[in-house]
Amino acid sequence: MNKIEIVACDKDDLKTLQRVSRQTFSDTFDEYNTKENMNKFLEDAYSQETLLKELDDINSQFYLAKVDGDIAGYLKENYKDGEFVLERIYVEKTFQKYGLGKILLDHAISAAKLNHCDHINLGVWEHNENAKAFYKKMGFERISQHIFNLGDDPQTDYILTKKL
């Protein structure tokens, strides 16, 4: 049996958070984007400066998923003005058959309920079929969309919601 833990991140976890953020995003989206756009996005979105600002944001919280002590993924939750948004949920490829996506999502749903939210929102890339199927199975419904710029490529993210 594997020991699975979800632990809160702080500034001491910055380099680990940066590594897992870049690796999981790259693993998920590399094949769909140019090298230039991907490199620019990874450098900007997951720079130490950007991640430190996010870690300092009182409305956000990062959590690392560990399997037998190894970093296996992470999530980022945002809560502000009664709105709960699951901004990021990523699992390392080698750990994708452990049910970590559901465990991380359950963690976010519990946090949303503790904050007395009646729903949880998230964005998912329109072409990420695995993630869309997962969220549909978990009871999310599409309510809108917005543009997500990856480098100079405007892409469409679907906004999904789940009533709690």
**Number of domains comprising the chain:** 1
Low-confidence ranges of the chain (pLDDT < 50): none
> Within a 13 Å sphere around the CA of 7, how many CA atoms are in the beta-carbon half?
16
The answer to the question of residue 83 being in a domain is yes
Q: Which of 84, 29, 76, 36 is nearest to 55 (CA)?
A: 76
Task: Print the domain residue range for 54.
Answer: 4-117
The answer to the question of residue 30 being in a domain is yes
Catalytic residues: 135
CATH of the domain at 48: 3.40.630.30
Give pLDDT, residue 1: 58
Between strands 60-67 and 141-150, the pairing is unpaired
What gap in Å lies between CA 147 and CA 135, rounded to an integer? Answer: 19
Query: And the tokens for 80?
Result: 């502000």
**Cβ atoms of residues 98 and 67 within 8 Å:** yes
The answer to the question of residue 137 being in a domain is no
User: For tokens 């900007």, what's the residue?
Assistant: 44
Give pLDDT, residue 52: 97
Give pLDDT, residue 81: 86
The answer to the question of residue 129 being in a domain is no
Give pLDDT, residue 17: 98
DSSP state of 118: S
Residues 6+ apart with CB under 8 A from 19: 71
Give pLDDT, residue 122: 97
Give pLDDT, residue 70: 95
DSSP state of 115: T
What gap in Å lies between CA 142 and CA 132, rounded to an integer? Answer: 10
**Cβ atoms of residues 18 and 46 within 8 Å:** yes
> Within a 13 Å sphere around the CA of 94, how many CA atoms are in the beta-carbon half?
7
Return the CA Rg of the chain.
15
